[in-house]
Chain A
Amino acid sequence: MAPTTLDTVLTRLAADNATGSLRVGKDGTVYLTGGRVSYVECTTTPGVEELLTTSGRISASGVRGIRQAAGPEADGGDLLIEKGVLSRGELEFCVLGATLDASFFLLRPAGTPRSRFKEGDTHWLGTHWYFDVPGLFRECERRSARLERAWPSAELDGEAVVPVGRLNGGHVLLTAPQWELVLAADSTATPLDLARRLGRPAYSTLLAVRELAAAGLLATHAASGPDTADVPAALPKRTPAAQSGDASERTHPPQADAADVNLLIRLRDALEAL
């Protein structure tokens, strides 16, 4: 039997208008409602529960209470709204964001993880947003392309985030997520660690890290050790106008070319001949 990829499994479930949960290896779960994806959980990304608790909207025990009260009808999301934890719009956007974030990490691997479908199983939050299966895969691809555009190397994705000690330029422009990252970076936490700590989606954190790297604001291997200097040096630098040149370029004074001297001599001779 040909190995079935996650893509084909989900496409088939969508065609069957399936409702239930698809457990993907040990990494996460995809919830479907009537053949559409209503929620995705992944162990590497913060879910709605974590986003709510780290933002201080509700305590962890508060979430547990609502989860128990939700029961098999799975209307936990409605309970959260009733209790004034968040608005309907916020809940929908939160579910949408958490689903996109988890999908990016869960659905991306090219391998064929073992998956198991549990008919009729629903998430305790209930259904608050839908994605069609092809649309979700398309979105993951677009997110992947966006990361590549920001900084085309996965070099820093799994490494500790280390901001540079000194700026190359006089000032720097940061977005709000980048500012939070720079503040929270302790030179040991990786982007995914920081995402959990800050209660931010993992993808947004990864993107902010790559943008900071492109702006020359993070220590890369090029700056830290001579052994690896040749590899990252080949990376294209997308440096905003605010930062003029990067450190490695500045340490080398311009090399004079011997040909220039000959040209100057010829020029001088020509001028004297006038």
Chain B
Amino acid sequence: MIGIEDCLSEVMSIPGALDAVLVEPVSGMAVVGSGTPDPARSAAGLTETFRAALEGIALASPEGTVRIDTMIITTETSHHLIKPIEMVFDGPLLICLRLDLERSNLALAQWRLGIITDQLMAH
């Protein structure tokens, strides 16, 4: 069982990790961040990105409800992964990770994120 701080260090230990931030998306607040110069700014931007994607994908999906497992955006230099963790009370909590394009393995990163999520929620 791990807490939020440990969760961040686990995420940063994923091969190719450049920076990571855990975001509380109700107000777009950076809960904890590592490697990013301005976590508050990253958190605000990532919250908007996630919200827009959720709304857009809901409109584009034939199903009635949409649940995003992982959102992956690839830029010229990096992969951005956003994984929402549903919390019982409020949430979700967003785990946002930026990976080096050359040095990372997307499949491995997704698998590791899944394990870390389970550890965060295990009790």
Tally of contact residues, A, Cβ under 8 A: 32
* CB-based contact A87/B121 at 8 Å: yes
B27 touching A57, Cβ below 8 Å: no
Q: Is A67 an interface residue (CB 8 A)?
A: no
Closest to A86 in B: B123
B26 at the interface (CB under 8 A from A): yes
- Which of B12-20, B87-95, B98-106 faces chain A? B87-95
A84 to B1, CA, bound (A): 11
Convert A76-117 into 0s and 1s, putting 1 for each residue whose CB lies closer than 8 angstroms to a CB of B. 000001001111111011101100100000000000000000
Q: Would you call A88 and B2 a contact (CB within 8 A)? A: yes
Contact call B90/A90, Cβ cutoff below 8 A:
no
Q: Name the residue on B nearest A128 (C-beta).
A: B3
Range of interface residues on chain B? Answer: 20 to 34
Q: Is the CB of A51 within 8 A of B89?
A: yes
Binds B, one of A139-147, A152-160, A264-272: A139-147
- Inter-chain contacts of A243 with B (CB < 8 A): none
CA distance A89 to B85 in the complex (A): 11
Q: Is the CB of B121 within 8 A of A90?
A: yes
B87 contact from A84, A93, A207, Cβ within 8 A: A93
Pick the contact of A92: B4, B29, B54, B58 (CB < 8 A). B4
**Residues of chain A having any CB pair with chain B under 8 Å:** 51-52, 55, 57, 81, 84-90, 92-94, 96-97, 100, 129, 139, 142-143, 146, 173, 175, 199-201, 203-204, 207, 242
Question: 17 more A-B contacts (CB under 8 A) besides A51-B90, A96-B4, A100-B24?
Answer: A51-B89, A55-B88, A57-B88, A81-B1, A81-B123, A90-B120, A92-B3, A93-B87, A93-B93, A96-B24, A96-B31, A100-B29, A139-B29, A173-B59, A199-B89, A201-B26, A242-B59
